[in-house]
Amino acid sequence: MPFRCQFCLRSWELENRLRSADAAYRELAGESDLVLPVFLAVALADARQPGDVWALLAGLRVRAARFRDRRRELDETLARGDASDEARRLLPRCAVRR
């Protein structure tokens, strides 16, 4: 095969670059903290196998319906500007209009 040496060298060089890129990625990933949404973190912690995650997320969503309703009510109250003095004190200035 013509240029066999070149072909082998190129293959070796490519494989070496892939290994070094993989090592660099692992090094970078080890230094970063992965922050997950709360419900996803809970579902992943409770899952026994990957297929369990979707069912667990669905269950969490159903159980959080009252929370979402209350949150929607609070958001509407803030949007209207109907916030108490204590809420104005505790919330950032951009969240409560005076």
Residue 86: helix, strand or coil by DSSP? Answer: helix
Asked whether 95 and 78 are in contact (CB, 8 A), the reply is: yes
Residue 54: helix, strand or coil by DSSP? Answer: helix
Residue-wise pLDDT for 37-96, tens only, equals 888 989 999 999 989 999 999 999 999 999 888 888 888 887 887 767 766 666 655 554
Q: Which two tokens stand for residue 5?
A: 């040496």
d(CA 55, CA 51): 8
| 23-27: average pLDDT | 67
pLDDT recorded at residue 68: 87
